[in-house]
Structure 1
C-alpha cells in the first residue's frame, strides 16, 4: 500500500482585530492577575521562587564579571514572556474552568515536541520565538558592552564601576546615550511580544501572525501600552531592589496579568483554539 506523504499544515493568515482599551486597563490586568495568583497558589509562586533563586545564584557567580551579569539580566528580561508560558496556561485554564494542576504545566511545556513536525502553527513556534528573543537580548548586551568599553572614562568590570563611571559620572552624556540606545532596541522587542506568546499558546497560528498582531495592538493603543510598559519596568525594578525576593510574587503576577492583557486587547475568535490541558 502506498504511503501518503505528510506535509506541514499551514494555518490560514487571518487579520485579527485589535481592541482599543482605556488608559486604566493595565491596572485592571494587574488586579485580575492577582486574583489568578491567589487561586493558583504555590504553582504560581514556584515560578517566581525558581527565577529568584536562579537570579541570586547568577549574581553570586557573575558579580565580578559585569558584562556577564548584565547579559544574563538583560536576557532574562527579554525572554520573560517565554518563561511565563505556563503562567498564561494557568490563567487560561481558570478562565475556562479547567483545574489547575501540575499536569497542566507539564503538558504545556512538553506540547511543542508533539507538534514540531506536524504543523507550522504548532507549539514549536513558541520555542522559535524564544530563540529570537534570546538572540535580540544577546545583540543588546554586545552593543551595550561595545558602547561602554569605547566611551567610558575608565574600565568597567564590576557593577560598582558602572555606577561610578557611567551612572554617577559628572558628564552624564554616556549614561543618557546608553539609556536612549536601550530604549530604541527594547521598543520593537516589547511591541513584538506584548501579546504574541499568549496568542501562540491560545490559538493555532504562526509566529508571523502573532508578532503582526502584537504590533497592531501597540499601534491601536499607544497610551495604555506606554502605561503597561512603565508598570512592568516599575515592578521588575522593585523586584531587583528587594534583592530579587520580590520577584517571587511579581513574576507570576505579571505573567497572569499579561494573559488578561492579551484577552482584553485581541479578538482571536477567528482562529481555532489549542487543546486546554
Structure 2
C-alpha cells in the first residue's frame, strides 16, 4: 500500500489526505441527511429521476435473467457519476449559494467536459463487465433461463452452480473494488478543484489506500443502502441516492479537503 501511495504521489499532484476513523462514514451519512433535508426539493427531483431510470433498466433486464445482475452492478458503476448534481448541491449549500435545480445543473454544465470524459470511462467499464459477465454465464450455466425467479433459485440454492457463483463474485468483486477505489472521491474533487480526471482518480485511489478500513465500511454502507433501494423496486432509491450523493461530498471534504 505504501509503495503504491508513493508511486501516485510521484506521478500525480495529489493533495494532502487526512486519515479518518472507521466510524466516520456514519457521520458522512448524518451530514448527507442534513444536506438532503435542507435541500429537499432539489434532492428529491434527482432521486426521482434516477429511480425512474433504474426502474426502466430493471424492467429491461427482468425478462433477460443473464443481464439482471449486470444491470444491478452497472447501476453501482455509474452511481458516482449519476450523483454529480447532488455533489454540486452540497458544495453550493456549504458555500451559502443557491441550491436550486437550475443552479445545480448550471454547475454540472461548468464541468461538462470533465464529467463527459469520466462518463466515457465508466461506460467502457460497464461494457467490459457486461461482456465478462456474459462469458462467465456462458461457460458455467447450462440450464434454460425461463424467468428471473427460477434463474436465481437455480444459481443460489441448487448447489449446482457454486463454481459460477464463485467466479462471478471474485471477478465482479475485483472490478467493483477497482472502480470504487478510482471513483469514491474523484468526481467531487473534479468539480471542486477543476482537476483532471487522472489526478482525481489517483487521489481517490490514494484516499482508499490511506483509509482502508473506513473505506471498507463506506463501501458496505453503499451496497447495503443500494440493496434497500432495489428491494423496494426503486422506490427507496428516491431517498437513498440523494443521501449517498450528499454523503459522498462530505467524504471528499473530510479526506481531501
Shared fold, TM over 0.5: yes
CA–CA distance in 2 between the matches of 1:111 and 1:59?
Answer: 31
Contact 2:140 2:163 in 1 (8 A): no
Tell me how large the CA RMSD over aligned residues is: 1.8
> Secondary structure at the residue paired with 2:21?
coil
Match of 1:184 among 143, 164, 174: 174
Please list, as runs of the form range in 1=range in 2, the aligned pairs for 1:157-236 lying within 5 A after superposition.
158-171=147-160, 172-236=162-226
The alignment status of 1:144 with 2:143, answered yes or no, reads no
CA–CA distance in 2 between the matches of 1:56 and 1:79?
Answer: 15
Q: State the structure with more CA Rg.
A: 1
> Secondary structure at the residue paired with 1:155?
coil
Deviates more, 1:137-146 or 1:13-22: 13-22
Report the CA distance between 1:255 and its aligned residue: 0.2
The alignment status of 1:134 with 2:123, answered yes or no, reads yes
Structure 1: gaps of 5 or more residues: 1-12, 113-122, 268-277
CA–CA distance in 2 between the matches of 1:226 and 1:157?
Answer: 37
Report the CA distance between 1:175 and its aligned residue: 1.1
Structure 2: gaps of 5 or more residues: 1-11
> Secondary structure at the residue paired with 2:122?
helix
Report the CA distance between 1:77 and its aligned residue: 1.6
Contact 2:189 2:252 in 1 (8 A): yes
What is residue 74 of structure 2 aligned with on the other side?
Answer: 75
Give the TM-score taking structure 2 as reference length. Answer: 0.90
Report the CA distance between 1:132 and its aligned residue: 0.4
Report the CA distance between 1:157 and its aligned residue: 5.8
The alignment status of 1:52 with 2:51, answered yes or no, reads yes
CA–CA distance in 2 between the matches of 1:250 and 1:163?
Answer: 25
Give the TM-score taking structure 1 as reference length. Answer: 0.84
Deviates more, 1:153-162 or 1:253-262: 153-162
Q: Cα deviation per residue 1:60-116 (whole Å; 9 max; x = unaligned)?
A: 34321234444433322211111111100000011111121122122123224xxxx
Contact 1:82 1:197 in 2 (8 A): yes
CA–CA distance in 1 between the matches of 2:84 and 2:166?
Answer: 34
Contact 1:239 1:250 in 2 (8 A): yes
CA–CA distance in 2 between the matches of 1:222 and 1:157?
Answer: 42
Moved over 4 A (4+): none
Query: Which has a greater percent of helix?
Result: 2
CA–CA distance in 2 between the matches of 1:238 and 1:103?
Answer: 29
Count of residues paired in the alignment: 246
What is residue 4 of structure 1 aligned with on the other side?
Answer: none
Match of 1:260 among 247, 250, 253: 250
> Secondary structure at the residue paired with 1:105?
helix
CA–CA distance in 2 between the matches of 1:28 and 1:80?
Answer: 20
CA–CA distance in 2 between the matches of 1:103 and 1:265?
Answer: 29
> Secondary structure at the residue paired with 1:145?
helix
